[in-house]
Structure 1
Amino acid sequence: MKEEIILKLQVECVMFFHNNPYALESIEGLSMRLGREAELLEAILLRLVSLAILERIGNGPRSIYRYIPPITMEDKDLQWKSS
């Protein structure tokens, strides 16, 4: 698969989950939502799991994927602690 196609599919998947942060999707479900072949998405989703962008729940064809929102500065307590 060409690098350009891989990157485009990665962006599509990340944007879907970013815009639907509570979505729980299988490869087949995501395939239907994005209008892409499931076979193409499988490698993409595994790559996003390895990058900690998605979490994979379960194994095999019934695996479910969900978004891991990035930690932002707003999420952290930035108060200075005095000694």
Structure 2
Amino acid sequence: MVAESDVITLQMECTLFFENNPYALETSTGMSKRLGRNANLIERALNRLTELSILEKNGQGTRAIYRYKTPYIQTEVDMNAYD
């Protein structure tokens, strides 16, 4: 049985990896090798990050490729829209 806190910790580690490597494309197997963690646990964390729209997933199962989904940041506000 895996504790929920372990999955949350892995989510944070995966998020940090992808934030620091925004152009990386990785599988759950590749991430498990990079982080030295169990591939099934990594896959759970990556899928949860996909559900939260932090990562984008292409494909299914162990061959799925994950990548960072850059957050949308609005830098200017059109004040005329509020008139």
TM-score range, shorter chain: 0.7 to 0.9
Question: 2:21 corresponds to which letter in structure 1?
Answer: N
Deviation string 1:14-60 (CA, Å, 9 cap, x unpaired) is 00001100000011111111111111111111111111010001122
Give the aligned length.
81
CA contact (8 A) 2:7 2:44 kept: no
RMSD of aligned Cα (Å): 1.5
2:72 aligned with 1:78: no
C-alpha separation in 1, matches of 2:61 and 2:4: 25
* Sequence identity (%): 47
Question: 1:35 corresponds to which letter in structure 2?
Answer: G
Moved over 3 A (4+): none
Match of residue 14 from structure 1: 15
Gaps of 5+ in 1: none
TM-score after normalising by structure 2: 0.86
Question: 1:79 corresponds to which letter in structure 2?
Answer: D
